Amino acid sequence: VDTGADSGVLTIVSGDPSSGTVAVPISGSGTGPAICACAIDGASCLTTTRVDFGIVDTGRSGSRTVRLVSCGTEPAALEEVVLEISLHPFATDPTLRITTPFPIGRLQPGTWSEGVITYTPEGGDSHTGGLRYSLGASEPRSWIALGGRAAQR
């Protein structure tokens, strides 16, 4: 979801092979509330749709701080930030948990909510999940994919 400027080309294909196609340039700007996700990496917050914990030793933990930024032109009412428990492909493995909850509420443009997700593999190979967030019942839900791999010690 973004509220910035976008552009593209709409290609219209004729049903008559001798007529060819027509390319129509289009552009516009979105407005309204929006949330953009990034993962903290040192002093930077890298835009992401997936948080990768990499390889973590079995019995050890790896944590990542995730920031949900109000990136729209209007305030965003962040109503929910949870681990998805049932919806495939984002059903979250129990090795992933939120260890610092995300504050919810009204976020002015440019402000954010931050939380920490921790991965503690107890065996196995790859573990996946999803962080679900929403701006309200009438707005679509969004997910950030989560993943990590267990290393056997």
CB of 12 closer than 8 Å to CB of 1: no
pLDDT at res. 153: 64
pLDDT tens-digit series, residues 47-91: 999 999 999 999 999 999 999 999 999 999 999 999 999 888 899
What does DSSP assign to residue 86?
S
Share of the chain above pLDDT 70, in %: 95
State both tokens at 95: 């090795």
Which residues make beta-bridge pairs with 151?
Answer: 57
pLDDT at res. 1: 47
CA distance 75 to 111: 9
CA distance 127 to 47: 22
CA distance 68 to 105: 12
Place of tokens 């992401």: 48
E strand or H helix that includes residue 115: strand 112-119
